[in-house]
Amino acid sequence: MQFKWNYEPPTPEQQLAANELAEKIGMSPIMASLLIKRGIKTESAAKRFFRPMLNELIDPFLMNDMDVAVDRLNDAMGRKERIMVYGDYDVDGCTAVALVYKFLQQFYSNIEYYIPSRYEEGYGVSIKGIDHAVEAGVKLIIVLDCGIKAVEEITYAKERGIDFIICDHHVPDEVLPPAVAILNPKREDSTYPFKHLCGCGVGFKLMQAFAKNNGIPFSRLIPLLDFCAVSIASDLVPVEGENRILAFHGLKQLNQGCSIGLKAIIEICGLTGRELTMSDIVFKIGPRINASGRMQNGVEAVELLVERDLQKALTIATRIDEYNDQRRDVDKQMTEEANEIVARLESQQHQKSIVLYDEGWKKGVVGIVASRLTELYFRPTVVLTIINGVASGSARSVAGFDIYDAIKSCRDLLENFGGHTYAVGLTLKQENIPEFRRRFQEYVSHHIMPEQTQQTLDIDLEVDFQHITKRLLSELKKLAPHGPGNEKPLFMTRNVYDYGTSKVVGRHQEHIKLELVDSKSAVVMNGIAFGQSAAARYIKSKRSFDIVYNIEENTYKRGEVQLQIEDIMPSEE
């Protein structure tokens, strides 16, 4: 698709500030301009951004209830109570459980972990899980990446003598569960300075506080930071503030000495020997961890993440890789079916949102299908499946539109819901679907802004090819790790031409491998445009066009610069 391009050239004042900053930090004005656009305006701020320090992590005891949580955990250990570490079945939940379990297991043996079945128990804290805890003699449950809305379930557990420490990051309801401690930076009364931790991040803060309280050196936590990086990348939380510190050092750990389980996944993915990035986590590592909970049970993912023997880990990783292949097949089939339904439904074509359901769709894959449809049609999307008269599924949103509020406006029709601004899980009775669809679509049509209904590219800078050098590529690497809040910088160059050697490539001839020259500098640049073969005829016509792109390192020629082109537009437009 062709995007809407958003670009505001730097003002003379911004350009002057960039030139001054460039001189101070010994980098190019392009790099300095990118820093200023990110709010980094001084030499000291730039140094902190390039080298996030672990000693800059926020004091965990600034989080509401942290002192109570640590006291209760200490009491449980002192009284030799059985502890259960309970988590959601997605990447964030599984990494959070693995992190907390692995850390505590070094100091305490009367501990187990539990991941609910997506298909038998559904999302979050389940009665079945609590009953299992009762039978096992558990007295304390640390629940991660869920639990903030489990009022009835935690009340049920409390009546059976089980206490809860909640470590969650989802938006709470007005009524909080009767847990002994609720660690959630999104609490309305939260005093914690950073609001965007993932579930694994909240679990890490609990372990940081526990270590600090018990005189355990912080260095004992560092080997677990790889789980934080995997979780931050997969859960798409902002990579800024405390998350940038955790992701930066987590990636370092992932590349230099990660856990046996992650090492097995990396080997299965064919990533061994490469410098791993957040993109590798998002597209390779994360989906495999997720596949366990989507296709079977997320407990296998935790078994892998806590495994200490490489051969055993490789056996589990191979099995999980097979789940991922199955997931891809189901995902492809469901997306095709959903596209056919959208194409058939005239009412959907004119709506600013999509609500689809089918009894044959697999519960574990509806979230991925919702994401696919959102990307394809650029409309807030809800995809549901139906089991025994109950519809459950996922909602995904477009940039800038709060789908959590949209779902919340229909809460009287729902059995349960929870999530974030851009992703929500929900359940409702099958007979409520028509009214839910009507009200959800009505809410979206009244609240979504026109600019939110078209995919946009926010361009950082316009540059000429002569300024795209190996030195600039080296500087740009210092902006990583990337993600929401710190996206890879997007550049624009106008009036470029085919050098004469561009060609269509790919198994289905869907991509374009480009050699381009710009009209100002006569410098030739290599580029790749994925999925944009429709533009090939225009490119070969020798007419000029404009491009928006990231500057990347060529995967096959280390150190060589390559443009990853996001969009192409004829210059006269």
Which residue type, as a one-letter code, is found at position 94?
A: C
Residue 349 has pLDDT above 50, yes or no: yes
Residue 11 has pLDDT above 60, yes or no: yes
Residue 101 has pLDDT above 50, yes or no: yes
pLDDT tens per residue, range 137-155: 999 999 999 999 999 999 9
Calculate the average pLDDT of the chain: 93
pLDDT tens per residue, range 491-547: 999 999 999 889 999 988 999 999 999 988 889 999 999 999 999 999 999 899 999
The span from the CA of 303 to the CA of 313, in Å, is: 8
Q: Which residue has the higher pLDDT, 451 or 29?
A: 29
Cβ-proximal residues to 153 (8 Å cutoff; 6+ apart), any chain: 124, 125, 126, 127, 130, 177
pLDDT tens per residue, range 452-478: 888 889 999 999 999 999 999 999 999
Residue 1 has pLDDT above 60, yes or no: no
Residue 259 has pLDDT above 90, yes or no: yes
Q: SS3 sequence, 80-136? A: CCEEEEEECCCHHHHHHHHHHHHHHHCCCCCEEEECCCCCCCCCCCCHHHHHHHHHH
**pLDDT score for 346:** 59
The span from the CA of 163 to the CA of 116, in Å, is: 18
User: CA angle at residue 307 from 301 to 309, to 5 degrees?
Assistant: 135
Average pLDDT over residues 355-366: 90
- pLDDT band for 573, please (50, 70, 90 cuts): low
Q: How would you list the strands of the sheet with 423-429, edge to edge? A: 354-358, 381-387, 390-396, 423-429, 416-419
The span from the CA of 508 to the CA of 512, in Å, is: 11
Percent of the chain with pLDDT over 90: 80
Average pLDDT over residues 218-227: 98
Q: Which strand (E) or helix (H) includes residue 505?
A: strand 503-505
Residue 115 has pLDDT above 90, yes or no: yes
How are beta strands 461-462 and 491-498 bridged, if at all? parallel
- Rounded-to-10 torsion of CA 184, 188, 194, 195: 70
- pLDDT band for 344, please (50, 70, 90 cuts): confident
User: Burial code of 344-355, b = ≥16 C-beta within 10 A, e = fewer?
Assistant: eeeebeebbbbb
- pLDDT band for 560, please (50, 70, 90 cuts): confident
Q: Which strand (E) or helix (H) includes residue 495?
A: strand 491-498
pLDDT tens per residue, range 12-67: 999 999 999 999 999 999 999 999 999 999 999 999 999 999 999 999 999 999 99
**pLDDT score for 364:** 85
